[in-house]
Every structure is written in structure tokens, then in C-alpha cells.
């Protein structure tokens, strides 16, 4: 079966599994590719009518997408933790509640030379 003949839900499922693999393997390039494929498949799936028998599959794909989102949030927390311990601050953390730049990045000595 050619790639053009793949049902949008099948393409979406493949992209979601690739996204999960990329997240688990910390593969940034694969994550970018799979996220783009997911968005394309999602647009295609939205454009076609879903058969009544596909409702369970759509629910399962939604749950897989939510699980990937939770894993992505976990990865983001890990990166933020690492940046904080390296003396770097995430862009979100340099602004106070009024939107003013409040926190100042701090340099840390990571070792003795």
C-alpha cells in the first residue's frame, strides 16, 4: 500500500507511536519529524468523516496523544531542572508576576580547573 493510500487514522497512529519512541529515546530530530507527521495526519483525519466503528480507535489515539503530552511535560521538567542546576534559567522563569524581568541569571562554578 502506498503512503498516499494510508488512512489518516493509520497515519496518525504511526506518527503518535513515532513521537513516543522519539520522546523515550531523547531523539530531538525524530520528535520534530513525528510531530509534523502527526499534525499533517490530524488535519487529514479532520477532513474525512470517521466511520461509526472508528470511534473507539479515535478515543485510543486521543489517549495515546495525552500520554505523549504527559511524557513531553516530564521531559520539559527534566530539561528545566538541568538548566537550573547549570546556572541557566528557562525563559519562563526570568519574568515576575507583572511581566517584568525579575530574576537574574547566575553563573555557577561547575568544577575546579
Taking 50 as the threshold, does the pLDDT of residue 41 lie above it? Answer: yes
Taking 60 as the threshold, does the pLDDT of residue 94 lie above it? Answer: no
- Supply the pLDDT for residue 1: 45
* Residue 113 included in any domain: no
Mean pLDDT calculated for residue range 102-107: 56
- Supply the pLDDT for residue 20: 96
* Residue 111 included in any domain: no
The residues, any chain, with a CB within 8 Å of residue 61's CB and separated by 6 or more, are 9, 12, 13, 16
* Residue 85 included in any domain: no
* Residue 20 included in any domain: yes
* Residue 107 included in any domain: no
* Residue 96 included in any domain: no
* Residue 9 included in any domain: yes
Domain span at residue 54 reads 3-77
Confidence of residue 99 (pLDDT cuts 50, 70, 90): low
* Residue 27 included in any domain: yes
Q: What is the C-alpha end-to-end distance of the chain, expressed in Å?
A: 59
Mean pLDDT calculated for residue range 53-71: 93
DSSP 16-32: HHHHHHHHHTT-HHHHH
Could you give the number of structural domains in the chain? 1
Amino acid at each position: 500500500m502506498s503512503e498516499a493510500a494510508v488512512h489518516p487514522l493509520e497515519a496518525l497512529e504511526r506518527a503518535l507511536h513515532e513521537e513516543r519512541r522519539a520522546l523515550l529515546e531523547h531523539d530531538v530530530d525524530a520528535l520534530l519529524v513525528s510531530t509534523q507527521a502527526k499534525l499533517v495526519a490530524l488535519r487529514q483525519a479532520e477532513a474525512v468523516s470517521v466511520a461509526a466503528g472508528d470511534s473507539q480507535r479515535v478515543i485510543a489515539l486521543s489517549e495515546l496523544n495525552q500520554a505523549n503530552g504527559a511524557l513531553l511535560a516530564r521531559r520539559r521538567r527534566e530539561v528545566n531542572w538541568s538548566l537550573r542546576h547549570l546556572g541557566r534559567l528557562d525563559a519562563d522563569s526570568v519574568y515576575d508576576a507583572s511581566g517584568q524581568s525579575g530574576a537574574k541569571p547566575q553563573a555557577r562554578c561547575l568544577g575546579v580547573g
